[in-house]
Amino acid sequence: MQPGGQTPGQTPGQMPGDAPQAGQAGGPAPPPGDTTGVLGRCAADFQKLGDACTDAAGTPCLCPEVSAPAACDLVGTFAVRAAMMVRWDAATVLGQTAVAPGQATNANFGIWSIRAEGDGLVADARGCGGETPDLCSPALSEAFGQGFPEVIWDTGSTPTDVWQLTASDTTPGSALSAGPVAAFFGLRMTSSDPLGTFPAVADDPGLMWVDDDGDGVPGVTAKITPPGSTSSSCSLPYGYLPVEDTPFPARASDIYMGMRTVAELTATIDDCDTITGTLTTHAADARIQGCLLESGEPCSDSQRAFLDEQPQPQEILGTTFTALRVDDASIACAAVRAMAFPVP
């Protein structure tokens, strides 16, 4: 007898002479798949059915069948959504609020074609368009919106950016990273360092303008939302963009611009069809090389310079990244924008 009247191997409440219980030394083995008290430890150790282990109370038991997760083959096509939260401060001119402060979350879309290269993985990434926030001007009692025509994203003229992916392995739950990568649209830097200092003016020799939307004009053409509707952001009517600081300024309907974005990906392989994470934006730069007035006439050099010299007050607060595998390697951008992505 042990202190307390128990014999060796006897569990509390068991009388001497009773048959040993399942899972107890000397007793029958628990049925296959019995995971009481041990699944977490067995899974962590990748033990197999029949391995000896004990539960939290020290009772002998058998581990369930648990195997290590298989590595994912990430080669394929992924639809991408990046939700960017931005904020901007007010801009004042002669004591008047030319642009009201604001904050918005804008969705941007793309297609990643992941391929094997050497011992690693590379993603060829192209854009599919997205959203830009409206700017509201209490001083002018107008709102200003802009965007790129959706048709340009499937023309084949837009650039492809290359992301070198880094992962210790590709099992679900593993980390995946890339960058920093400089993505250009409408222009390129002639410097050998695409991550270097961005030129301060549009006619800097360090910039080369490229017709990435295929409309015959260097740069990419942003369309200003025309008058006739109201912004949902501030309930002000839309207007074309003023291109000079005068009481009755000329206004532009089209802006010819170029951009560079420098970003870095930190993500997790959720499963073999899903990658989620964050994009850290290190730089978001833009220049304007020309514009078209609402009259149909090109902007003057001074009007173009007026736009190009405006401050870029937007601050990117954070960007969530979601990539979902798709079966169609030739999926169109319109289909990507229409997809239902999980909310991070």
Task: Report the candidate in 154, 175, 159, 167 with the shortest Cα–Cα distance to residue 269.
Answer: 175
Give the Cα-Cα-Cα angle 285, 335, 135 (nearest 5 degrees): 35
pTM score, whole prediction: 0.79
**The dihedral sign for the CA sequence 37, 39, 42, 44:** negative
| HSE, side-chain direction, 13 A CA sphere, residue 199 | 20
Quick one: what percent of the chain has pLDDT higher than 90?
A: 68
Average pLDDT over residues 159-171: 95
3-state SS assignment for residue 26: coil
Average pLDDT over residues 326-332: 96
CA 320 to chain centre: 5
Domain ranges of the chain: 23-68, 76-337
Helix, strand, coil percent values for the chain (each to nearest 5): 5, 45, 50
Torsion of CA 298, 302, 304, 306, to 10 degrees: -140
Name the token pair of 310.
């405006």
Q: Give dist(CA 108, CA 129) in Å, integer.
A: 6
Q: Give dist(CA 164, CA 171) in Å, integer.
A: 18
CB 256 within 8 A of CB 217: yes
| HSE, side-chain direction, 13 A CA sphere, residue 252 | 26
DSSP 250-303: -EEEEEEEEEEEEEEEEEEEEETTEEEEEEEEEEEEEEEEEEEETTSPBPPHHH
3-state SS assignment for residue 40: helix
pLDDT confidence bin for 6, thresholds 50/70/90: very low
CA distances from 83 to 76, 180, 190, 288 (A): 22, 18, 30, 25
110 versus 5: the higher-pLDDT residue is: 110
Per-residue pLDDT tens over the stretch 196-212: 999 999 999 999 999 99
* CB-neighbour burial class of residue 200 (10 A; exposed 0-12, middle 13-18, buried 19+): exposed
Under DSSP, the state recorded for 20 is P
Per-residue pLDDT tens over the stretch 43-93: 444 444 445 565 556 666 655 555 667 899 999 999 999 999 999 988 876
pLDDT at 91: 81
The mean pLDDT of the chain is 84
pLDDT at 36: 45
DSSP 154-222: GSS-S-EEEEEEE-S--STT-EEEEEEEEEEESEEE-SS-TTSPPPSSTT-TTEEE--TT-SSSSSEEE
Does residue 180 have a cis bond before it (omega within 30 degrees)? yes
pLDDT at 92: 73
CB 245 within 8 A of CB 306: yes
pLDDT at 68: 66
Secondary structure string (H, E, C) spanning 145-157:
CEECCHHHHHCCC
